[in-house]
Amino acid sequence: MKKTVSIKDIAKLTDSSITTVSFVLNGKGRISEATRKKILDVAEKNGYQANRMAVGLRTGVSKVIGLVVENIGGHFFGALAKVIEEEAEKHGYRIIYCSTNNDIQKGREVIKMLSQQLVDGYIITPLKGLEDEVLALTTNNKPVVLIDGYFPGLNIPHVLVDNTGSVVNGINCFIKEGYKKIGFVTVDIELVQLTERLQGYSDTLKQNNIKEVKKNILKLPFDIDKYNAVEVIKNYILKNKNLDAIFFATNYLGILGLQALKELKLSIPDDIAVISFDDNELFDLYPPGITSIKQPTYEIAKSAIDILLSQLMDNKTDISDLKLQIPSTIIERGSTRAK
């Protein structure tokens, strides 16, 4: 229950002024080595810790970064969060996180909540419809870096995987191995990431003179539950008997897809070849091994936090056109073995 010591207490204990203590603690001003030592000593002994609220109020700097992601519990975002925290910590920043669950309303609330001068900068997973809120932050002079997406047409720095290129590589892998009737399973939600992935699919088919067939593309409803999702995918497979390969646009879809194929007792890759976006342990272990697009999670997170930190330390340089598309790696496994 003992009260926390303030700068005032240290001043009293060392017979000096508040200013002197503050100067010493912050390495400013002109103070003799003797008093410096004494103050540092007493501060140390009494376990002095600056009151962050007071510092924040006075300086307008909280040393806290807001991280707004789709779902902190997810594979990908969890991994990002880990890296971001570690890097931020090295520079004395802490992270407040919020999940939006891809819900625009929740996104709005979350940003509003964070913007009450509680946070110095933001890393945000963009969501269509959140443009105004994010712009409001930047006009309030708070640096923002978008991650895993961007706002088309807006000049906000962002870093994400090269979605289109990744899918191009994936589809080309199918083609190289002799698969030509390629399906694409995605989610029906307006995210640039997904649009770009679909684009990669279309582009590659065109480039290889393969006619794109509408019904080979499945767009799952956004909020479908797991059981029904598997059913829909099963149905899609049954109705597209001609398909010899399927590309799943996200990790989650890939897993659902494997479930569906399992329930239909179809063999991979003999009946159907498979590639999924986002690598994970399951894909490595699940026989015959599922070829996947491995996102450079570390690089994405590291770049994002680096850009943000550079901006926080010196916001003179303009970073508004820092737009990074980081290439992915395709990990070829048994699920795309030559036909």
Task: Note whether 213 binds DNA by CB under 7 A.
Answer: no
Task: Note whether 317 binds DNA by CB under 7 A.
Answer: no
Answer with the entry of DNA, its own copies, none that 32 interacts with (C-beta below 5 to 8 A by kind). DNA
Q: Is 285 helix (H, G, I), strand (E, B) or coil?
A: helix
Kindly tell me which residue out of 13, 40, 42, 51 binds DNA, with binding defined by CB under 7 A.
51
Question: Residue 235: phi, psi to the nearest 5?
Answer: -55, -45
Q: Could you tell me the smallest distance in angstroms from the CB atom of residue 314 to DNA? A: 15
Task: Note whether 30 binds DNA by CB under 7 A.
Answer: yes
Nearer of residues 56 and 165 to its own copies, judged by Cβ: 56
* Site residues for its own copies per CB under 8 A: 1-2, 4, 49-54, 56-57, 62, 64, 71-74, 78-79, 81-82, 85-86, 89, 94-99, 110, 112-118, 139-141, 255, 258-259, 262, 281-282, 284-287
Contact 300, 326 (CB under 8 A): yes
Q: Could you tell me the smallest distance in angstroms from the CB atom of residue 243 to its own copies? A: 21
Q: Is 333 helix (H, G, I), strand (E, B) or coil?
A: coil
Query: What distance lies between CA 267 and its chain's CA centroid?
Result: 34
Answer with the entry of its own copies, DNA, none that 259 interacts with (C-beta below 5 to 8 A by kind). its own copies
Question: Residue 144: phi, psi to the nearest 5?
Answer: -130, 135
Kindly tell me which residue out of 37, 45, 46, 57 binds DNA, with binding defined by CB under 7 A.
57
Task: Note whether 22 binds DNA by CB under 7 A.
Answer: yes
Task: Find all residues with CB under 8 Å of 258, minimum gap 6, and list them.
Answer: 268, 274, 282, 286, 290
Task: Note whether 29 binds DNA by CB under 7 A.
Answer: yes
Nearer of residues 7 and 134 to DNA, judged by Cβ: 7
Nearer of residues 184 and 286 to its own copies, judged by Cβ: 286
Q: Which stretch in 18-26, 182-190, 193-201, 269-277 sits in contact with DNA by CB under 7 A?
A: 18-26
Answer with the entry of its own copies, DNA, none that 31 interacts with (C-beta below 5 to 8 A by kind). DNA
Task: Note whether 19 binds DNA by CB under 7 A.
Answer: yes
Task: Note whether 94 binds DNA by CB under 7 A.
Answer: no
Task: Note whether 18 binds DNA by CB under 7 A.
Answer: yes
Which residues does residue 218 pair with via DSSP β-bridges, in sequence order?
Answer: 185
Reported for 198-201, long-range contacts at CB under 8 A and 24+ positions apart, including other chains, are 198/167, 198/249, 199/164, 199/167, 200/163, 200/164, 200/165, 200/166, 200/167, 200/168, 200/170, 200/171, 201/167, 201/171, 201/247
Q: Over 70-107, what HEC string results?
A: CCCCCHHHHHHHHHHHHHHHHCCCEEEEEECCCCHHHH
Exposure of 300 in the CB half-sphere (CA atoms within 13 A): 28
Which residues does residue 325 pair with via DSSP β-bridges, in sequence order?
Answer: 160
Q: Could you tell me the smallest distance in angstroms from the CB atom of residue 33 to its own copies? A: 27
Contact 103, 68 (CB under 8 A): no
Question: Which of 140, 68, 149, 158 minimizes the C-alpha distance to 109?
Answer: 68
Nearer of residues 35 and 172 to DNA, judged by Cβ: 35
β 121-124/144-147 pair status: parallel
**Contact residues: DNA, CB under 7 A:** 4, 6-8, 15-20, 22-23, 25-26, 28-32, 34-35, 48, 50-51, 54-55, 57-59
